[in-house]
Amino acid sequence: MVNDNLAHQIAETPECEIVIDKAPVKWCTVSLSEIIERGKRLEASVYDVEAKQAREIIADAKYPLTTLGGADGMTTSYTGARFKRIWVEKSDYPIYQPSTIMDIKPSPDGYISAVTDTDIDALRVSKGQVLMTCSGTIGKVSFVSDTIDNLIFSHDLLRINCKKPSDAGYVYAYLKSKVGNKILLTNSYGAVITHIEPEHLATVPIPDAPDALKLKIGNLVIQSYTLRDESNTLIDEATKLLIEELKLPAIDNFEVDCFKKDAPVETFNVKLSEMNYRLDASYHLPIVDAIVDHIKKYAAEVTSIRDKRISSAVILPGRFKRVYVEEGHGYALFGGKQIHTLDPSGKKYLSKSKHDERISKELLIEENTTLITRSGTIGKVALVPKHWANWIASEHIIRVVPASQDVAGYNYIFLLSDYGRVLIQRYTYGAVVDEIDNGHVSDIPIPLLKNHDVQKRINDLALEANKKRYEAYKLEQKALKIMDEEVIYAK
């Protein structure tokens, strides 16, 4: 009977070899009181190992701990009161969403009426504040510099004021660090926080470094944001030059050829010869023809993006199944939602070995290439700065590789403008998810200016702005490195 035992037979079968994965595992100790506090749950997912380790790291660090908020903490913070928004087409009150705080130059989500039942001025952010998303995707952090000073943001954004204004850059760098951000997003037991309230900051520990070290880190952050402001000023100057040279009116002031001007909806005629096999009305909007006709009148020539004087290639990578790896073992990957940020690299890294051929031919991006989002939100435009070179933009982003550095910045400025955005978005198709493709982008009209010196100036301003963004990135990374080496991990 014993010889017939199945367990005994399996144990003696030499072909059954157990291979133990020697890869490191995440682990931590959990006290009985913590288990009871978490409802006697024994699943590892209830206890964020990395968060507990992060708290242990700063507890063992060189400097004593204080708290981020609370009566004795370094900051005070608040959110706005909830209110019902009254949207209007245009007003003196553009409002911005919390998700845009990471953008180098945010765009408003819309406009609210002056009669909206809330204290609109209380929603404005102030220079020197640290901002944090507190719902949805929480824990994203930004710093208020000249670009967004006094702008109106929605209520669900945490405004953090430092009791000592000179600490603002230091607090920002701590919350941007991997350790600081991980602690922020979890409570003392490692459970993930789903919404951050001002009082939550009273439970977030932060090393109380010497004032000189805080100032050293803070100054780097402020310098980084100053360079971002300067880059935005250069972009605005280049756009203004383009508008002046082409004598372009505001996008809302174009005279368009409507079929019936007093109709409750926009109506217009389209010739059969101009249909281009497109039956969707958005493709034939009169504003498109108005813009093209106008730039033909004032430009030396109107060509298209596919012109070899403008681009050497317009690349749309094919779809593929992604193989992700850990940080440090692959290429940083980012998507269309992130292209307006200074540092779009997230927590995703593509395997070099699995995607080597596709990466080299389609996915790697080069400095001063213009990126255009092709699905979802169509027509977001970015110019690749130096630190993005050899990163990977997803297949949802079209690459316009410039014919030379003499037109790289000019291409970007025109496509970034209100007029370029209209010409991009007119190609949009799709019933559920909007799309455009590289053929559409290749067909986008682009003017060549009569005054070559002005075109060169526009190009140079854009490239100079891109260099400043690269320098801004380096300064922020330096601040984060000092925060790690001299504060968080210092012994």
Q: Are residues 307 and 173 in the same domain?
A: no
Q: Are residues 257 and 397 in the same domain?
A: yes
Range of the domain at 429: 232-471
**Helices (DSSP H) in 41-198: which residue ranges?**
49-59, 168-176, 178-184
Q: Are residues 415 and 345 in the same domain?
A: yes
Both structure tokens of 97: 């969403």
What CATH number is attached to the domain comprising 165? 3.90.220.20
19 inside domain = no
Count CB atoms within 10 A of the CB of residue 50: 15
Both structure tokens of 68: 């981020």
406 inside domain = yes
Q: Are residues 355 and 418 in the same domain?
A: yes
Q: Is the pTM of this model over 0.85?
A: yes
Both structure tokens of 368: 């001063």
Q: Tell me, what amino acid is at 402?
A: P
213 inside domain = no
Q: Are residues 286 and 146 in the same domain?
A: no
Q: Are residues 148 and 276 in the same domain?
A: no
Q: Are residues 174 and 322 in the same domain?
A: no
Interatomic CA distance for residues 69 and 74, integer angstroms: 6
298 inside domain = yes
Number of H helices, E strands in the chain: 12, 19
DSSP 341: B
408 inside domain = yes
Kind of pairing between the strands at 301-304 and 445-448: antiparallel
407 inside domain = yes
Provide the number of structural domains found in the chain. Answer: 2
- The burial of 488, by beta-carbon neighbours within 10 Å (0-12 exposed, 13-18 middle, 19 or more buried), is given as buried
Closest CA to 58 of 490, 474, 488: 488
100 inside domain = yes
Q: Are residues 305 and 404 in the same domain?
A: yes
Q: Are residues 267 and 181 in the same domain?
A: no
Both structure tokens of 490: 């210092």
226 inside domain = no
Cβ-based neighbours of 102, under 8 Å, separated by 6 or more: 140, 142, 338, 340, 341
Cβ-based neighbours of 229, under 8 Å, separated by 6 or more: 145, 146, 147
Q: Tell me, what amino acid is at 390?
A: N
Q: Are residues 193 and 315 in the same domain?
A: no
Sheet holding 392-393, edge to edge: 349-351, 330-334, 392-393
3 state SS of 371:
strand
Per-residue pLDDT of the chain (491 residues; tens, 9 = 90+): 444 444 444 444 344 343 434 445 667 777 888 788 767 877 665 677 788 888 889 999 999 999 999 999 999 999 988 888 899 988 999 999 999 999 999 999 999 999 998 999 999 999 999 999 988 888 899 999 999 999 999 988 999 999 999 999 999 999 999 999 988 887 655 566 678 889 889 989 999 999 999 999 999 999 999 999 999 999 999 999 999 999 999 988 887 776 566 667 777 777 787 787 787 877 878 889 899 999 999 999 999 999 999 999 999 988 777 888 887 777 888 889 999 999 987 778 888 777 777 777 778 899 999 999 999 889 999 999 999 988 888 889 999 999 999 999 999 999 999 999 999 999 999 877 889 999 999 999 999 999 999 999 999 999 999 999 999 999 999 999 999 999 999 98
Q: Are residues 258 and 186 in the same domain?
A: no
DSSP 44: G
Q: Are residues 408 and 325 in the same domain?
A: yes
